[in-house]
Structure 1
Amino acid sequence: MKYIVFTFTFFIGFITMLKNVYIVNTKKSNLPDFEIFTSQNQAIILYDIKGSSLDSISAYLLAEDIYQVTNYKPKVITKIKEAKGNVIVIGSIKSKLIGNFLNQKELSSSFKNQWESYLYKTISNPNKKIKKALVISGTNARGVAYGVFNISKKIGVNPWYWWADVPVKQSKELILKQLDFYSKSPSVKYRGIFLNDEDWGLQPWAAKTIEPETGDIGPKTYSKIFELLLRLNANTIWPAMHPSTKAFFYYPNNAKIAEAYQIVIGTSHAEPMLCNNVDEWNKQAFGDFNYVTNKTNVINYWENRVKNAKNLNAIYTMGMRGVHDSGMEGVKNNYEAVQLLDGIISDQRTLLKKHINPKVETIPQAFTVYKEVLDLYKAGLKVPDDITLVWTDDNYGYIRALSNIEEQKRSGGSGVYYHASYWGRPHDYLWLDTTNPHLIREEMMKAYNLNNRTIWILNVGDIKPAEYSTQLFLDIAYDAEKFQNSKYTTSHQQQFFDDIFGKAFSKNITKIKETYYQLAFERKPEFMGWSQTEPTTQIFNTQYNPFSNNDEITQRINAYETIEKEVNSIENELPNTLKSAFMQLVSYPVKGASNMNKKFLYRDKALAYAKQGRKSASIYKNLSNEAFLNIEHLTENYNQLSNGKWNGIMDMKPRRLPVYENPTIEFPESHSKELVGVSIEDTLKTLQGLNCLPTYYVGDSKSYFIDVYLKNSESGTWQIKQHPNWIKTSKISGVLNTSEALEERIYISIDWDSWIKTGKPSTETLIIQTNSEEIPIQIHISNSYKNITQNSFVEKNGYAILYANQYSQIKNKENLSWQEISGLGHSKSVMQSSPLHASSSTNHENAPVLEYEIYTETITNKANITLVAIPTHPLTTDGELKVAVQWNDEPIQIVNFKTEGRSSEWKENVLSNKAIKQIHVPIKNTGKQNLIIYMIDAGVLLDYFVLNTSGKKTLPYKLPNETKL
């Protein structure tokens, strides 16, 4: 027996399984039962035939959902006189049908006027024939649907049951046990998705699999998409619009299906007046898409669409750009563009007045401030107050600007168009869903808290594999207040996987995906070729260093292999019914990302090792090629899932960019006279002319590596000659050969107790003897910090690494502060200058302060501090991203993380998710140094800092561990 309990906190109790019987334990044991299916009671569904077509759709889908759970399909009726027994009643609160069950006077006027809200109410004996009624009613048709589908979710039908093959949780009996419930209004008015760059997934899949008769994305596909949107409490679509796809209005039933599902139709930033220029603007017939030279034809083109779509729920995109994501034609500069756009918007509104409503301000309209349009807006374009300003991210997850205090007063409000998938420069990411959930939460809550709440649209590409990003984005849009605490992001993700795979697996899956997203935040799989596009370049070596920072390449490969093994372990334990969903949501993205990384990282190792003459270089070349073949195999398996249901949905090479190909790896054969080679971590370090490992610091457990490898023989030997017992080695000798071990890595660390007993020597020399030579390697010990408190930040080997949340002091003010955002950043916890609505602080004495103490052992005039922030943009169009930085008693320096347009700096920022600024800092004495950071502008997100005394110009790409004593 399954009990589902709804209360004002939405859900009480916990579910336990016993012999396929689900029970909710609750203190509210006196809640009324509503039996949907038991041996004594089988409910029927009654909906309002005079209501919206969506009432009918919801009723029949609910009946199907109940059938999937119980194998009992309720009868669906429309006449109250036929209703008897237990009845689920569906309809608008304004309908005559619902009036038979609810007293309108008992409903508050505030609830009745809420946007897209719903209620649940259980009523005993509403008439002589009906024993119990479960009323699901809404303030509009979509409110009703949300009420229906949220019950479906609670009885075991996941919103992704079709789109991710999530199995329905079945039960022998189904009983609801609930209190009355009234939902609140959604946080954002229009919430939805943009189908985009569908050329390699959604469109070919629809043509092959779900809709071969259309050979395209048509009404069958859209009906499934619209159902998903409603199950996710969403309401808006920007239809697919690439050249591979016919325009939405090409198939008349597309609009009819949208109307039936009550989905609001909008169009992207490049498609004014619901027109798909790529498919619908016929240049040969109409001429240039140029308002200066061809105004009449452009106006006629728009007017025909407005006339034909006037009865649709729609948001009209206003303004004009080029045919497809390009600048407007016919203007020479921003001044001309602003003047022309002003007239265009006026003419477009005249069409809306003429054909839809003379009160044009009541018609939903949007002006998307995208790419060059932002420059026009900054240049003085005046957008009518009732038009919603839709701000955009920079295509890589960082919102370019949001409404300032005055813009927040606009009657049309504002919103955000955001990307989880993108085609364009500096590089596409169309393959895997890798945008970090903590970044999505931070940026969208920033929009919400600055009152940008009218329209939120997520570019989901092909929908798959962006399932979780879609869920997260739409859940924030529906109930943003849950996400005010940044830590809720992880809880949300775990709940997503719990709903699908159950508590036995959800915690581990969440940990896997958190690591997956964090590794991609460091560098997306699509960016691992270090290439760019528009124009497209060939691949380059990565910036991961195999010889220093504890071998960055091996660390990254190991991190991916760890989560791959965990995925395999779960995959082996999962029941067969969950394996398709697991492949789609977890296994394919994790293994795909892992193998894309291995493809390039093993390539780098092969090339780097070949330069050293290592015979092992060929092994890494083969591993790189193997990784490419693994991706091919994984993709073939994905497209065969669920008996071919997803045939064509996954393409491992969207746009056929160089990064997706099997990289060429060529290197000459080694002809070295040496038999065995030796490589030392951080090889560039030397002391007194000798090979030298990085310095060891007293008390530090750090180890460093030495590699020994075959160069030009079938076998060889090595050994570490006699060394003091305070030097610990992972191995002291070995044999190298071509069949078993072409190379070995030896880790060297210090036994500090033995070191003390030996008299605390500052140096020692190891001798590695090979077949042909003896190689001395010097060990150096630093005792620079013997009088310093444990856990202090110190300079080690020319670097001090500090994470921004590890301050020694924080001095916040009454209305201004530095706030920690958990989960975000390379350090996984960043400091934000707050509150977001604060004005810039010009008086450092009254500004919030972060203070850091660093102990150094180097005196130099050539040191620098690198400050790394999250590469966000200023909060408003006229904003900045400044902080004031003071080193010791040196003059304060102003640092601004703001970037301009699509500059080279911005490109590097978004590819690495780092905004990097550097200042010169003199170190006049050893010992304690002070770093002080004052808030100037709100919204700055500080991640970590690097003090560099080494003289090296490049920093480690991977964030090292903090350098603590």
Structure 2
Amino acid sequence: MRASIKSAPVLCALFSTALFSSVTWACEQPASVCFQNNEGLPLIKDGQPLPIIVSPSADPAVKRVADAFSLDIQRVGGTRADISQAQSLSQPAVIIGVLGEDTVIDELVQKGKLDVSHIKGQWEAYQIAVVKDPAPGVAQALVVVGADRRGAIFGTFAISEQIGVSPWYWFADVPTEQKNNVYITAGSMQDQPKVRYRGIFINDEDPALKGWAQKKFGGVNADMYERMFDLILRLKGNYIWPAMWGKAFHLDDPKNTALADNMGMVMGTSHHEPMTRAHAEWHRKSENPAGGGPWNYETNRENIQKFWRGGIERMMSKGNGKPYESLVTVGMRGDGDEPMSEDTATELLEKVVEDQRAIIADVTGKPAAETPQVWALYKEVQDYYDKGMTVPDDVTLLFADDNWGLVRRLPTKNVDREGGFGVYYHFDYVGVPRNYKWTNTVQIGKVWQQMDLSYARGAKDLWVVNVGDLKPIEFPIDFFLTMAWDPENMDTQALQEYANNFAKQSFGTGLANEIGDLLQRYGTFAAMRKPELLNQHTFSVGEISAPKLKAGEFYQHYVKWQKLEADMQKVKAKTEPEHYPAFFQLVEWPIASMSNLYEMYFAAAWNQKLVDAGDARANYFKKIVEKNFARDKALTDKYHSINDGKWDGMINQVHMNYVTWNDPDQQTMPTVSAIHSAKNDIDVAFEESPLPPNTQIIQAADYIKASDNDEMEWTKVEHLGQAKAGVVILPQGNGPTSIDDNVSLTYELTQPYYGDATFTIELSPTLDTYARGGIRIAVAIDDRPAETLSFDLHATGGAQHTPEQKAWAQAVINNKHSLQWNVQNLKKGSHKLTVYRIDDNVVLEKLKIEFEQKAEPEAESEFAVSRFFSKLFGSN
């Protein structure tokens, strides 16, 4: 049976990745880093560090983290800490070890010097303590004790981060500030994760990551994975699905398997690669001399079982009857990550899992339940779950999003099952309605909303996110794994402070707020529409007029990106040289490259419109398109050359002029044309069109009244969605409410004349995670009866043939979904609009009201009333 983390006590979380940096208040917290002498334990004194003690019999992962910590101390203080395997203390030292496996630590516990009752037996828990008088003649020692080996790793790297070593010191070239003195305050602190397995999926990695790795390391090999595992562990992750486009982690480099285990990583395989086998292995003759045959369990069962058995035998090849630590994927999809059959073959898939578990039990010599397993409910596989497929209680059920960041289903039954539940999420995707692989298009507010909901509904055992090439998605990865460590600590305040704190850790306090603002705005703008979905036809361009062109929607997007880039350039000018490589990767390149892309398509749109009209101003925009196309390559070349070409090849994904869901063969400039003109320099200016007089826009955050109840309250969340703020009910995960419960928001609007009104309620797209048939809200105007509105976006991931699939595709393309509601016969003047909560997982963004004037009914008009009294009393 697996150790549980569900009933663990609530512990202090002072060291959550990137949420906290080395600031003055840390000097007041127990067992925290301080850069001024507060009578704490000197970790580094005048540049000289304490020695590190690790047991000679310690797990290789613990020895590795001790060595990494020694190097981190050198990065900060200039001198490596000595590492000793002494069995006793003779001087102040840093002791790193695992409870029950380290003589020095166990003696401290036995002598009552160290109370470990809060972490004993807990999954990945750690304790950091300054112990007084740990041995005769020794005044103090710093003890980092893990309840298991990863607990020791996470505790050690927590200190590394506090002394100023960013988890991104290598993967984003974040420099470390030098400190001559570092102290650890007195006392003790403990922490442990709230989600059991937390990791990433390297995917869609050709040509970018693969090409870069070949140049940097000679391949996607152990040298590359050693860097990647180090990053994941520093971010307090513990799990990975390795690169799988034609790759086989355990075969491609003989060192890979042992490396992962020796570093403390839990290895997995993706949603369609069962029994620890990379799918590429099936087609390699070294593994299957006959090529394996068809990947069809009905016709080729014996060969497939042999293949699976080989995967479990390899997992058990560590020796001494112990496995390489793995989370075994079970179940089956078709060859090449396709559906296994046209129908929902529930009985067949149940038989697959039954046979897989028999293999696991036979090879390990233990009940299958003692080997951690996961079944991914991805795409059509979710249908098996919805239709009642029986899965053993110890298997973790991994729900999935729709590949676009919207979670499809969450637990509704047997929520306390032993294996629990998880979520497979996407920051990168190959598929319909369009691939998106080039750059970071993630708004962390949306990630927070969906994963907070998932955690509230019981998905607490596995969070894994598809990150494509890993770069340039550093900031969202940092957020995802931080939140996975402690979702309860990631409240709305922590969410709003996250970008600033990430910037503080990466660039210091001086520019943190400005850079944090750039990161927040970039995430909001970039999430609005994936760059692969952009072209010159994406938005309305405007109208031709003179002397100024009349701006359409495209102009508004162009302007905000230009403003963001201009603000970035101002911050860049203040960036210290040692921070510039990191600034370029994390801030400048994402903003500049996306701003450039928007400008190119904006100019291409106007060029086409003006050419069609025979307007020579088209030539002005032609030059801009050509400039932008050249600049895109220049920005890519600069990325690949920075730090002496360290990242050469890393951003080679094609990202221009898609015409189908899949990648174009190469970058292609939009087609532009010229108009013959005697004038070379033509001035072009724009005038913005005002909002039509019959239209009113109300931000969802601008309500005049919020009616909460004892359990829930309305909350404004900036940078959630595309409006001023997304408005949600917190906490998430509660059941339906009724109109009579009056959990509602009230807005005020002004009808300019008697007539009808069409309300468009803009929402962040979300999915019905209960499979109840849709998500509902209710609306009412003044004292009229409320009306219920609902939406049900069907996210199958397949081609958009049905109206429901088309609606889903349109919602994810535009990153918004709208509900319309018509109201008739509204009087001129002020009115109250009430929006009622019914179902969970609704994010309100904006209200648009379009008024239509019509003749007032005669009985209600002033003329009719006057005529009535005239007839009644006569006239003078």
TM range (shorter): 0.7 to 0.9
Greater mean deviation of Cα atoms: 492-501 or 845-854:
845-854
Q: What is the rounded CA distance, in whole Å, between the counterparts of 2:79 and 2:464 in structure 1?
A: 38
2:270 counterpart residue number: 268
Q: Which has the higher contact order (CA 8 A, sep 6+)?
A: 2
Query: What SS does the corresponding residue of 2:375 show, helix, strand or coil?
Result: strand
2:243 counterpart residue number: 240
Aligned runs of 1:158-307 on 2, under 5 Å? 158-171=166-179, 173-209=180-216, 211-212=217-218, 216-243=219-246, 245-282=247-284, 285-307=291-313
Query: What SS does the corresponding residue of 2:332 show, helix, strand or coil?
Result: coil
Change (3 A) 1:365 1:925: same
Query: What SS does the corresponding residue of 1:370 show, helix, strand or coil?
Result: coil
Q: Which amino acid aligns with 2:127?
A: L
1:469 counterpart residue number: 476
Shift of 1:159: 0.8
Query: Cα deviations across residues 693-738 of structure 1 (Å, max 9, x unaligned)?
Result: xxxxxxxxxxxxxxxxxxx7x5xxxxxxxxxxxxxxxxxxxxxxx3
Query: What SS does the corresponding residue of 2:824 show, helix, strand or coil?
Result: coil
- Aligned residues of 2:54 and 2:85 also touching (Cα < 8 A): yes
Q: What is the rounded CA distance, in whole Å, between the counterparts of 2:227 and 2:21 in structure 1?
A: 31
Change (3 A) 1:839 1:149: closer
1:899 equivalenced with 2:793 (yes/no) = yes
1:646 counterpart residue number: 647
Q: What is the rounded CA distance, in whole Å, between the counterparts of 1:887 and 1:429 in structure 2?
A: 41
Q: Choose which of 886, 891, 901 in structure 1 pairs with 2:780.
A: 886
- Aligned residues of 1:603 and 1:620 also touching (Cα < 8 A): yes
Query: What SS does the corresponding residue of 1:433 show, helix, strand or coil?
Result: coil
Q: What is the rounded CA distance, in whole Å, between the counterparts of 1:100 and 1:113 in structure 2?
A: 18
1:366 equivalenced with 2:374 (yes/no) = yes
- Aligned residues of 2:701 and 2:724 also touching (Cα < 8 A): no
1:934 counterpart residue number: 836
Q: What is the rounded CA distance, in whole Å, between the counterparts of 1:748 and 1:449 in structure 2?
A: 44
Q: What is the rounded CA distance, in whole Å, between the counterparts of 1:12 and 1:233 in structure 2?
A: 16
Aligned runs of 1:839-854 on 2, under 5 Å? 839-841=735-737, 843-854=738-749
Query: Cα deviations across residues 468-517 of structure 1 (Å, max 9, x unaligned)?
Result: 11100000011222212x23223111111111111111111111121211
2:523 counterpart residue number: 517
Q: What is the rounded CA distance, in whole Å, between the counterparts of 1:913 and 1:411 in structure 2?
A: 36
Q: What is the rounded CA distance, in whole Å, between the counterparts of 1:650 and 1:179 in structure 2?
A: 46
- TM-score, length-normalised on structure 1? 0.79
Q: What is the rounded CA distance, in whole Å, between the counterparts of 2:49 and 2:732 in structure 1?
A: 54
2:30 counterpart residue number: none
Shift of 1:911: 1.1
Q: What is the rounded CA distance, in whole Å, between the counterparts of 1:388 and 1:246 in structure 2?
A: 24
Change (3 A) 1:414 1:858: same
Change (3 A) 1:299 1:652: closer
Q: What is the rounded CA distance, in whole Å, between the counterparts of 2:371 and 2:553 in structure 1?
A: 55
1:871 counterpart residue number: 765
- Aligned residues of 1:852 and 1:930 also touching (Cα < 8 A): yes
Aligned runs of 1:326-337 on 2, under 5 Å? 326-328=338-340, 331-334=341-344, 337=345
1:501 equivalenced with 2:512 (yes/no) = no
Q: What is the rounded CA distance, in whole Å, between the counterparts of 1:100 and 1:250 in structure 2?
A: 44
Q: Choose which of 312, 315, 327 in structure 2 pairs with 1:315.
A: 327
Change (3 A) 1:851 1:35: closer
Change (3 A) 1:9 1:261: closer
Greater mean deviation of Cα atoms: 308-317 or 280-289:
280-289
Shift of 1:133: 2.1
- Aligned residues of 1:194 and 1:237 also touching (Cα < 8 A): yes
Shift of 1:75: 1.8
2:145 counterpart residue number: 137
Shift of 1:120: 1.9
1:542 equivalenced with 2:530 (yes/no) = no
1:806 equivalenced with 2:699 (yes/no) = no
Q: Which amino acid aligns with 1:254?
A: N
Shift of 1:745: 4.7
Q: What is the rounded CA distance, in whole Å, between the counterparts of 2:698 and 2:687 in structure 1?
A: 29
- Aligned residues of 1:835 and 1:938 also touching (Cα < 8 A): no
Change (3 A) 1:391 1:638: same
- Aligned residues of 1:195 and 1:459 also touching (Cα < 8 A): yes
1:103 equivalenced with 2:110 (yes/no) = yes
2:822 counterpart residue number: 920
Shift of 1:597: 0.9
Matched-pair identity in %: 27
- TM-score, length-normalised on structure 2? 0.86
Shift of 1:265: 0.6
Query: Cα deviations across residues 857-883 of structure 1 (Å, max 9, x unaligned)?
Result: 24445x422121111112323463111
Q: Which amino acid aligns with 1:855?
A: T
Q: What is the rounded CA distance, in whole Å, between the counterparts of 1:87 and 1:262 in structure 2?
A: 24
Change (3 A) 1:227 1:924: closer
Q: What is the rounded CA distance, in whole Å, between the counterparts of 2:98 and 2:332 in structure 1?
A: 39
Q: What is the rounded CA distance, in whole Å, between the counterparts of 2:49 and 2:433 in structure 1?
A: 59
2:441 counterpart residue number: 434
Shift of 1:554: 2.8
Q: Which amino acid aligns with 2:683?
A: L
Q: Which amino acid aligns with 1:360?
A: A
Q: What is the rounded CA distance, in whole Å, between the counterparts of 2:421 and 2:130 in structure 1?
A: 39
Query: What SS does the corresponding residue of 1:564 show, helix, strand or coil?
Result: helix
1:386 equivalenced with 2:417 (yes/no) = no
1:487 equivalenced with 2:383 (yes/no) = no
Q: Which amino acid aligns with 2:635?
A: L
Unaligned runs of 5+ in 1: 1-5, 17-22, 530-539, 671-711, 715-737, 750-794, 952-965
Query: What SS does the corresponding residue of 1:854 show, helix, strand or coil?
Result: strand
- Aligned residues of 1:201 and 1:650 also touching (Cα < 8 A): yes
Aligned runs of 1:42-191 on 2, under 5 Å? 42-80=49-87, 84-94=90-100, 95-103=102-110, 107-128=115-136, 130=138, 132-171=140-179, 173-191=180-198
- Aligned residues of 1:391 and 1:415 also touching (Cα < 8 A): yes
Q: Which amino acid aligns with 2:741?
A: N
- Aligned residues of 2:596 and 2:631 also touching (Cα < 8 A): yes
- Aligned residues of 1:542 and 1:601 also touching (Cα < 8 A): no
- Aligned residues of 1:126 and 1:133 also touching (Cα < 8 A): yes
Shift of 1:456: 0.5
Aligned residues: 803
1:686 counterpart residue number: none
- Aligned residues of 2:453 and 2:733 also touching (Cα < 8 A): no
Shift of 1:275: 1.2
- Aligned residues of 1:487 and 1:823 also touching (Cα < 8 A): no
Aligned runs of 1:561-710 on 2, under 5 Å? 561-653=562-654, 657=658, 661-667=667-673, 669=675
Q: What is the rounded CA distance, in whole Å, between the counterparts of 1:496 and 1:746 in structure 2?
A: 38
Q: What is the rounded CA distance, in whole Å, between the counterparts of 1:401 and 1:478 in structure 2?
A: 22
- Aligned residues of 1:615 and 1:742 also touching (Cα < 8 A): no
Greater mean deviation of Cα atoms: 809-818 or 510-519:
809-818
Shift of 1:108: 4.6
Change (3 A) 1:307 1:853: same
- Aligned residues of 1:834 and 1:939 also touching (Cα < 8 A): no
Change (3 A) 1:321 1:569: same
Query: Cα deviations across residues 420-461 of structure 1 (Å, max 9, x unaligned)?
Result: 111111112111112101111111111112221100011111
Change (3 A) 1:654 1:520: closer
Change (3 A) 1:180 1:800: same
Q: What is the rounded CA distance, in whole Å, between the counterparts of 1:888 and 1:609 in structure 2?
A: 48
2:6 counterpart residue number: none
Q: Which amino acid aligns with 2:702?
A: Q
Query: What SS does the corresponding residue of 2:314 show, helix, strand or coil?
Result: helix
Q: Which amino acid aligns with 1:561?
A: Q
Q: What is the rounded CA distance, in whole Å, between the counterparts of 2:165 and 2:429 in structure 1?
A: 31
Q: Choose which of 821, 824, 827 in structure 1 pairs with 2:723.
A: 827
- Aligned residues of 1:307 and 1:355 also touching (Cα < 8 A): yes
Aligned runs of 1:378-457 on 2, under 5 Å? 378-404=386-412, 406-457=413-464
Q: What is the rounded CA distance, in whole Å, between the counterparts of 1:64 and 1:650 in structure 2?
A: 30
Q: What is the rounded CA distance, in whole Å, between the counterparts of 1:574 and 1:813 in structure 2?
A: 48
